Structure 1
């Protein structure tokens, strides 16, 4: 058995029930953490409709949260979900503004080319974005199969 994540009539992702349920449990965790709806509708006959605008806002907030998290365990626990959420956004055609000042940590002058005491230099920010983009693109390819 499998479930479908759809945008209108277009299927974005068709994971197994197990993968879908694990993903949805993570969605619920981050909806609570971010205090935002995900835009993934309730199940109807093994299908979940994805509202692209609401989902894009959720993913943007998730990405901002992930980038600002300095707690190593929290960052590692969230890595896979963030990459999967970004991949689903890519499959839905949602744009992610990777250059947004929202991704600079609080109090950081990184956007102006200066380093930061916590090691969050422009190079570190680029490495974070590059690695996450690569992972989400690989994930999107496997999700589309």
Structure 2
């Protein structure tokens, strides 16, 4: 059983059911913490539709919060959510602005993770 994340007719990630549910729950929780919509809407078919503009704003806010913290614990807690979100955003054709000192590391992590995220 899968948990697809879809942007229009395109499947961005055909996640395993539990992985998809966990990611969607983490994104919703982080969006509430950041006081911004996640851009993810649960579908009756058992997945999520992605509103790219809202999702892009969510990912940018998440990254900005990560980039502005001095807490290694906060960064480490948010990192998996951020990198997964960057893969989905990239696959939807969206992008965010990254600090030059973070760009190459996050791009490498995104590329490595994307290999394991079926689309």
- In structure 1, stretches of 5+ residues that fail to align are 100-124
Aligned match of 1:61: 61
Matched, 1:131 2:105: yes
Root-mean-square deviation (Å): 1.5
Question: Which of the pair has more CA radius of gyration?
Answer: 1
Give the number of equivalent residue pairs. Answer: 119
- Whole-Å Cα distance in 2 between the matches of residues 11 and 70 of structure 1? 36
- So what's the TM-score if we normalise by structure 2? 0.91
Structure 1 counterpart of 2:83 = 83
The residue matched to 2:25 in structure 1 has which SS?
A: helix
TM-score, length-normalised on structure 1? Answer: 0.76
Aligned residues of 2:40 and 2:51 also touching (Cα < 8 A): yes
Q: CA deviation at 1:82?
A: 0.8
Question: Which whole-Å deviations, capped at 9, do the CAs of 1:73-94 have from their partners, x for residues lacking one?
Answer: 1111111111111111011110
Partner of 1:48: 48
C-alpha contact (below 8 Å) 2:31/2:37 kept by paired residues? yes
Which residue matches 2:39? 39
Structure that is richer in strand per residue: 2
5+ residue gaps in structure 2? Answer: none
Report the Cα offset of residue 16 of structure 1.
Answer: 0.6
Given that 2:3 and 2:14 are in contact with CA atoms closer than 8 Å, whether structure 1 keeps it comes out as yes
Q: Secondary structure at the match of 1:6?
A: strand
How many Å apart are 1:63 and its aligned residue? 0.8
- After TM superposition, what 4+ stretches of structure 1 lie above 2 angstroms from structure 2? none
Per-residue deviation at 1:26?
0.8
Aligned to 2:114: 140
